[in-house]
Structure 1
Amino acid sequence: MDLRQIRYFIAIAESGSLSEAARRLHIVQPALSQRLAALEADLGVQLLVRGRSGIALTPSGTELYQRALLIAKHIDTARLAVKEKAGEVEGTLTIGVLRSMAPAVGKRLFLTLKEELPRVTPHLRTGYSAELAKMLQEGRVDLAMQVLPAGSKPDTGVLYSEHLYAVGVPALLGTGNRPITLPELQGIPILTAARQSSHELLVQAARRQHIPLNVIGDVEDSFSLLEICDTGVAATFLSGAMAHEAARHRGLTVRPLDDPRVVRHVTLAVNPDVPRTAALVAAGEIVGRVLMERMREAMGEVPAETSRTTQPAADAR
């Protein structure tokens, strides 16, 4: 088994078909089929099952795919490390961004990475905290934002901590921005995003206090969530940055949840199998800085046109 076979197999697994993999690899399909057959013969196992709708990995194929990703990442990292010895900071970095933060930070993060690390190719991937943790474990991202589990004590590695904000039309939440308590939520129709860790914190806090929440549905997409809340059907809960942007652009009422236990702590986790190259360290610092800039802009603490030159760099572990 050689490196070319490994890269070919990764392409096949991710493409879902031999023809698409051959197109991406710029080789003819018969040659790719021969490479795959040679790999299966070398390992003595079947890696794929072919069907009408494409290919599917066997258990052995899934195991090889996961390990192949790590091997390919180590090769790429070794290449970067050698080049960094010559003073060059370049390569590809894959960064996991929390789904709830992507609309607020995605554009700024990508442009800042390209401006400050022009020879680095950034790949941004979005997901919930658990999804990003799995991507880290499987070697599909180099670093990723993570929300600490409920009850965890924050430490110096936390990028930021934030309360949840109730967001809805004035008919449901009233006017003004005074804090809202959990008992006040009784009777208010609420939309949740169950896979968001912050909403899980809310539900757990209400359960501890024996407060029944009137949850009328679950919507994962933040934009759709706000579109529905805009009609007055229900209220929802968002992070500070997203909530204040909703207030400015949609005229919705935004009230902080008055419960010290419903706080999410966001950290930046690094793939333990990836060496800390100069590119990785620099990218971590940029992620931390951009997050804080966008948070402060959204909360109205820093004018958007001046924040990039006035905010200190955040520490990235």
Structure 2
Amino acid sequence: MVDLRQLRTFKSVAELGSLSKASDRLRIAQPALSRHIKLLEHELRIELFTRNGRGMVLTPAGHLLFDRTAGLVRQIEQVRDDIQSVGGAPSGRVVLGLVPTVSCVLSTRFARRVIEELPQVSLCIVESYGGHLVEWLHRGEMDLALMYGPSVDLHLSVDTIGRDHIVAVGPSGSGLAEQKEVSIEWLSAQKLVLPSHSHGLRILIEKALSRKNLPIQVVVEADSFRVLTSFVEDGLGYTLLPHSAVRADAAAGRLELAPIARPGIARELIMARPADRQPSIATAAISDFIRIEIERLRSEGLWDIQMTQAGHPDAALR
């Protein structure tokens, strides 16, 4: 009969591709983990991994088992964590997803706050783009994600935190910082470096230009936030990014920024979690702390975000 230990072992080996790495994560001797996998394969009467010199690779049957059980194992672990949290401090593991432009502003401060104030919570921050975060939320492998909307048709439980303002970004010496603001028409006349067509920011920018029937000049594309800023720094073109993500680079003199003339361009910042299960006590605590930390960054002038009433930290604690 398949048991939880076998499924936990299977999940860790599948994610890490190695018995030795899974042994380090689970703190269980490697021979015991190997025995769990063999018992699971015997029970299911099929091989779940292909063993080779580079590690362990899932077979088609292994992929199917992983897709069907990874979220289930996560839910069972959270039930255990919640029982241990009753009457005490929140405890357990929380996997938090962040898009890169949010991660660069929030991650370090937030991790320090969790270590200091939620010492029994094990926080795992995963940085990736919105499409990947949505997939992992649907599969139950991630508990919470902070990313950009729109939130329509995500089929997730979503709270809107606020609207994040987008600014024009240029290289040092471009004179961009001397401009009070730049118009959409000005942006249309510039050579731009932008994410690819599937990226939400690219879609937002193209819509802003198309509303005025303006062309767009994209000289090179990159789906990496840091690659985009390096392109701009080297003078390949201008880009558009959330102010918070490039504020430090501008302060260091590597980039220049200018706001976009009204109505401007803004992105909906959302907090999402799986819709088919209740958040654990630890996940709920992390969710509240995120709102509080974003409000602190806003009040300190480090994040130019217009928070919604629902996203205000006082609302989160009511």
TM-score (normalizing by structure 1): 0.83
Residue 73 of structure 2 corresponds to which residue in structure 1? 72
Deviations 1:157-181 (A, max 9, x none): 3111023111103665644343322
Q: How far apart, in 2, do the equivalents of 1:287 and 1:95 lie? A: 10
Unaligned 5+ runs, structure 1: 302-310
Distance 1:151 1:29, change over 3 A: closer
Match of 2:106 in 1: 105
Q: Distance in 2 between matches of 1:19 and 1:247?
A: 44
Q: CA deviation at 1:150?
A: 8.3
CA contact (8 A) 1:289 1:314 kept: no
Q: Structure 1 residues 24 and 77, CA, compared in 2 at 3 Å: closer, same or farther?
A: closer
Return the match for 1:253 from 253, 256, 268: 256
Q: Cα RMSD between the aligned structures? A: 3.0
In 2 relative to 1, CA 57–282 (structure 1 residues): closer, same or farther, beyond 3 Å? same
Equivalence for 1:90: 91
Structure-2 residue corresponding to 1:169: 171
- 1:312 Cα deviation after fit: 5.0
Which residue of structure 1 lines up, in the alignment, with residue 268 of structure 2? 265
Task: Supply the distance in 2 between the matched residues of 1:253 and 1:224 (Cα, whole angstroms).
Answer: 16
Distance 1:170 1:71, change over 3 A: closer
| Cα distance in 1, alignment partners of residues 127 and 165 from structure 2 | 21
TM superposition score normalised by structure 2: 0.83
Q: Which residue of 2 aligns with 1:306?
A: none
Moved more, 75-84 or 218-227: 218-227
Where does the alignment leave 5 or more consecutive residues of structure 2 unmatched?
A: 305-311
Matched, 1:181 2:202: no
Counterpart of 2:101 in 1: which secondary structure? coil
Distance in 2 between residues matched to 1:297 and 1:198, nearest whole Å: 26
Kept in 1: contact 2:98–2:127 (CA 8 A): yes
Match of 1:144 in 2: 145
Query: Is the alpha carbon distance of 1:18 and 1:122 closer, same or farther for their aligned partners in structure 2, counting shifts above 3 Å?
Result: closer
**Between Structure 1 and Structure 2, how many residues are aligned?**
306
* Match of residue 235, structure 1, among 227, 238, 247: 238
- For residue 46 of structure 1, what is the amino acid of its counterpart? E
CA contact (8 A) 2:195 2:202 kept: yes
Letter in 2 for 1:56: V
- Percent identity between the two aligned chains: 26
Q: Paired residue for 2:214, among 211, 215, 219?
A: 211
CA 1:175–1:106 in 2, change beyond 3 Å: closer, same or farther? closer
Contact conserved, 2:172 with 2:254, CA < 8 A, in 1?
A: no
Q: For the Cα contact (< 8 Å) 2:175–2:256, is it kept in 1?
A: yes
Query: Can you list the C-alpha shifts for 1:126-162, whole angstroms capped at 9, x where unaligned?
Result: 111221111111122111113222889xxx9311102
Aligned to 2:307: none
